[in-house]
Amino acid sequence: MTDRIKQYIELAKSLMGKKRFTHSMNVADMCFKLATIHGEDSVKAYTAGVLHDIHKEIDPELMKQEVLASDMNVDPVELDTQKLWHGIAGAYFCKTELKIEDEDILNAIRYHTVGRANMSKLEKIGYLGDLVSMERDYPEGEKFRRYTMEDLDNGMFEAMKWSIPNTIGKGGKIPLCSMDCYNFYWKYRK
């Protein structure tokens, strides 16, 4: 483990409650595993996993300011949905404060809750690593872990096929990037 990653872990620990920190470490481990299976840079994947929720527990006003200050193609639905701010705010923080310049890591953090069409392999690993981390114990968890281990593209299709109706069922709104994600990965369904 590099010194930089150790610093990121300590920062995450200082900004998160115990449960969120444990989740972030589980996501980092899952991202590392998925990267190893699917031939992606495992250090970048682990980094994205550690940092994916880095600003989830900060003051909502600060989070919104970061979303507005970012130049990250924020959909009006995202701006209107506080639960979606942390991915954008986290990527903005990583870019401006942590000086991470790797667009792939930044996009993996930015899109880990909403997805988008034509995601890079690292972005898919970030999205799916969050969905299937080991503490996730919802009924579909094992099925999604299997899909994700076998094929990231089909994993994205199955994840969006589940996530969009689940969000709608709770009365939530769907950003266009999520609909585009579903439509893009539809061709990879099995």
pLDDT at 187 over 80: yes
For residue 1, what pLDDT band results from cuts at 50, 70 and 90?
Answer: confident
pLDDT at 163 over 80: yes
CATH number of the domain bearing residue 132: 1.10.3210.10
The pLDDT value recorded for residue 66 is 97
What is the rounded radius of gyration, in angstroms, for the C-alpha atoms of the chain?
Answer: 15
The whole domain housing 47 covers 3-188
Bigger pLDDT: 136 vs 172: 172
Q: How many domains does the chain have?
A: 1
Dihedral of alpha carbons 63, 66, 67, 68, sign: positive
Q: How far apart are CA 28 and CA 129, in angstroms?
A: 8
pLDDT tens digit sequence for 100-159: 999 999 999 999 999 999 999 999 999 999 999 988 777 777 888 999 999 999 999 999
The 3 state secondary structure assigned to the chain is CCHHHHHHHHHHHHHCCHHHHHHHHHHHHHHHHHHHHHCCCHHHHHHHHHHCCCCCCCCHHHHHHHHHHCCCCCCHHHHCCHHHHHHHHHHHHHHHCCCCCCHHHHHHHHCCCCCCCCCCHHHHHHHHHHHHCCCCCCCCHHHHHHHHHHCHHHHHHHHHHHHHHHHHHCCCCCCHHHHHHHHHHHHHCC
Q: How far apart are CA 50 and CA 15, in angstroms?
A: 12
Mean pLDDT of 50-60: 97
Q: Which of 58, 45, 44 lies closest to 12 in space, CA to CA?
A: 58
User: Does pTM surpass 0.85?
Assistant: yes
Percentage of residues of the chain with pLDDT beyond 70: 100
